[in-house]
Structures are given as structure tokens and as C-alpha cells.
Amino acid sequence: MSQRLRGFAILTLALCASAALAAAPSKDPRLAGSYTFERGGWTYVHLEGSPEQIGFQHGYLLAARIEDALHVFQVEDQHSTKRDWQFFRDAAQKMFWPHIDAEYQAELKGIAEGAEAHGVKVDVWDIVALNGTMELSEYYVPWLDKKQHAQNAPVIHAPLKCSAFIATGSYTKDGKIVIAHNNWSSYAEGSRWTMMFDIQPVHGHRILQDGVPGMITSNDDFGLSDAGIMITETTIAQFEGWNPDGVPEFVRSRKALQYANSIDDYAAAMRDGNNGGYANDWLIGDRKTGEIAYLELGLKNTPMWRKKDGYFISSNFPRDASLIKTETSGFKPDDLSSSMNARRMRWQQLMQQYKGQIDVQLGEQFLADHVDSYTHQQGADQRTLCGHVDRSKEGIPQWDSGPYNADGAVQGKVTSSDLVAKMAMIAHAGHPCGEDFLARPFLAAHPEYSWMAPILRDMKSGPWTEFTSGEAPGR
């Protein structure tokens, strides 16, 4: 065992003991079968039973973490939108709640009840607003400001976050599917985006997904199911559009992964009741057939491409001409200096360079890549697949990320047909390249971001770690 892994093993034992002690006090029967443990910088969370049970277990086991995550998104959303938290609670209750399936209403209520049972003051509207944070702050608010002709409204663009690929056939080493994704978010969010949820519901498929405490779907959307479906996505750059009468994206994405048996099922679930919130380019694979697909989910335009031999790449660039014209605020596909297009070029280079060799290990390597295809230089910045915007004096204006902002790639995940067959993925907490982010020196060097001080913390980089559905603590 390497010195690095030995150190993580020691830390894991300590955290496991701490987690076990934290979960011990309650004998509530709703907690039966649930558990958590820590490994490799991740918190593994096993939930099982009815929607009410799954929700209560989630809320109880992660109560303190939910309170912490809620604080992060409250600070960020209020800063970016200039709206108070009550605005988001009201939208959750009046706009979202009537369009949420009873199954997920029960789970959301259960999360609030579980957290309260463990001493955290929270209610269901906080939990719904937390789940819908990206949709509300980055899609609904800009739409509402425009509709109301709001004076002095903040400029808000849909985020351009994440890098991903999916490949199959002649592009992979074994001819089967490989899929990988790194989540780009604020480092405040990223240091909390380290939950590994193993969910065994009464109805539908068992799922394994990464996520945030309190959220019922991954929300950076990397997951797999025992139906052999594997998915991920990246957001569509500069997207504009909203349907207040639609179904929240966080509900549709959870439902799709839990119930889809095929690529067509998944796409249908995402299109059904589409509200335009958190508009994404979805990469979907089916282990059973070896087929992969790319679903570009705008509001008006939702085309899908599919292959049994080839690849799809995604880094926030829309590809459908009609969507670009009618549903973005001037996306420029030929601007190779932009983060989304520079990363698109780098993905294309890697796919061609490693055709026929792509496997899980290369997927890990790709997510850690620091080549800037625009400058042709090696070095982490806002255009590299493993993004470090905090090193960029330019920032990323297309998503309102200022110079040296504390955001970028915050974790990575990779899986394959063979791993999905045993309900497993490999995940990396923190920058996939292995570099740590330290909050104190960053804030000292960039006082313009002092508003982040209450929520920004160190984001340490963990090792690539395999997680399997149903594994027990202490493995």
C-alpha cells in the first residue's frame, strides 16, 4: 500500500468510527437497514425502503451536513440573485410542489423530518428549495426578472459547468462503454459534493449516484442503475428558457434514473413535463446493448443522437443549430478561446489520440488533463478539462465567473459496462488532477471574494476510490 493510501486508510478508520457514533443514538424503525461510512474523501450513504423511509434515513444520517449545505446555497443564491431565502422557499412551495410526484413529495418530507429528528431546524420548503437551487437561481430568476422588467436586476447566465465523455465500440479497449465526468462548481459547493448515494427503493431500480446532502438526485448527474443504464451531463452554455408549469428537473432526473430500462425510457422521462430548468446535454449509455446517446435537452429543442460505435463529448457547448439560435443568449461555437469550446477541442484530440485504447484508467487521466487547447500550453486554467478558474485572470464571463473565482473541477467519476454490471463506479473527491485547494491563502490573496468566507473551506484531493452498491462499512 502506498504511503498516500495508507494515510487515507488511517483517516478512513477514524471517520468511520466517528460516523458510527453519530448515527447510533436513534432506534427509530424508519432507520432500519440504512448506514453511512467514509472512504477516500467521500461519504457513502445507503438508503432503502419506501419513499418516506428513504427520505427519513437521508435526513437523519446527514442532518448536520444538510444544514451546512443549505447554508452554502443560501449564501450563494442570495449573493447572485439579490433575493432572500424566503423567495426561494415560496417558489418551492407554490411553483414546484404541485408538479412533484407523490413519491418524491414523500421523500422530500422525509428528509426534513429526519433532519429535524436529529436536531436540525429545517422544513420541507427548505429541502425543496435546496433541491431546486440551480433551477431557481440560474434559470427561473433571470426569466422572472425579464418578465417583470426588473430594474437593476443582476446579470445571471446559465452556468457552463462540467466536462464529460462517453465512448463505445472501436473507441474503447474492450468495445464496451466507458463514461466519465468531472463536476465543475464553486469550491464551496464542491467541498460538500462528496456524497455517494446507494438507494434501494421499493419501486423501480436500485441506483448509485454521487450528490449533495439533502438532494434526491445527483444534480451534477453521474449515476447508474441495476437496469444497466449509466448517465451524466453538462449544462448548456448561455441557455435561456423557463416553463413555470413544468416538472422540476431534479424530479425528472431522479425519476429517469430510477425507472428507465432503456435509453428511450430515459429520454422520455427527461422530456416529460420539461420546465427548461437546468438545461443539459445528457450522455446516456445502456450496458445491455452497448449503445450510447446524446440528448440535448433545451426547452423547445430536444434532439437526440445515438451510436453503437463512436463517442460523444460534452463541455457545455450546444450542438443543435436551432437550439443555439432560439434558446441561447448568443453562444458562439467558433470562439475557441472560450472555456466550453477549448474543452470541446481537447476532448476531440483525446478521443482521436486514444481511439481503441479508452478504458477506466484513461478516463481518470482525461479528467485530470491540464492542456489548454487554445494556448497549446500545459497548465491548469479555465480552459482545461480539470478546470482551475482560481488561476485565471480572465475568469469565465459567459457564466459570470470573475477573475480568479474559486470554482472549477471539484471531483470526478468514471464507470464502464463491466463496472455497471456489478453496480460500481470509481470516484475522486477534489480536483481530479490531485491538487488541493486551500481557502485561507485564497481569501488572503483575493479579498474581493470575502463574501465567500463563511462557506469557503479547504477542498482536499482524495485518491481514486471504487464504490459498489450494497457494500458494507469497513470494506
Predicted pLDDT at 385? 98
pLDDT in tens, 326-374: 999 999 999 999 999 999 999 999 999 999 999 999 999 999 999 999 9
pLDDT in tens, 152-164: 899 887 776 799 9
Domains 3-147 and 163-190+229-467 share a fold: no
* 417 has a pLDDT exceeding 90: yes
For the domain spanning 163-190+229-467, the CATH number is 3.60.60.20
Residue 475: pLDDT band (50, 70, 90) is low
- Name, in order, each residue with C-beta under 8 angstroms of 306's C-beta and a sequence gap of 6 or more: 263, 291, 292, 293, 294
pLDDT-derived band at 399, boundaries 50, 70, 90: low
pLDDT at 133 over 80: yes
What are φ and ψ of residue 369, in 5° steps? -65, 135
CA distance 72 to 85: 12
Domain residue ranges of the chain, discontinuous segments joined by +? 3-147, 163-190+229-467
- Residue 299: name the closest of 280, 316, 319 by CA: 280
Q: What is the pTM of this model?
A: 0.93
* Statement: residue 3 has pLDDT above 70: no
Closest CA to 36 of 273, 205, 197, 245: 197
pLDDT value, residue 158: 75
User: Which is it for strands 377-378 and 371-372: parallel, antiparallel or unpaired?
Assistant: antiparallel
Residue 10 has pLDDT above 90, yes or no: no
Confidence at residue 25, expressed as pLDDT on a 0 to 100 scale: 52
Cα–Cα distance for residue pair 16/463, rounded to 1 Å: 17
Least reliable range by pLDDT among 117-131, 373-387, 395-409, 430-444: 395-409
Confidence of residue 401 (pLDDT cuts 50, 70, 90): confident
Protein fold of 3-147: Penicillin Amidohydrolase; domain 1 (1.10.439)
Q: How far is CA 434 from CA 72, 112, 165, 321, 380, in A?
A: 24, 35, 20, 37, 12
Percentage above 70 pLDDT, the chain: 93
Mean pLDDT of 418-427: 98
Is 150's pLDDT higher than 50? yes
Mean pLDDT (the chain, rounded) = 93
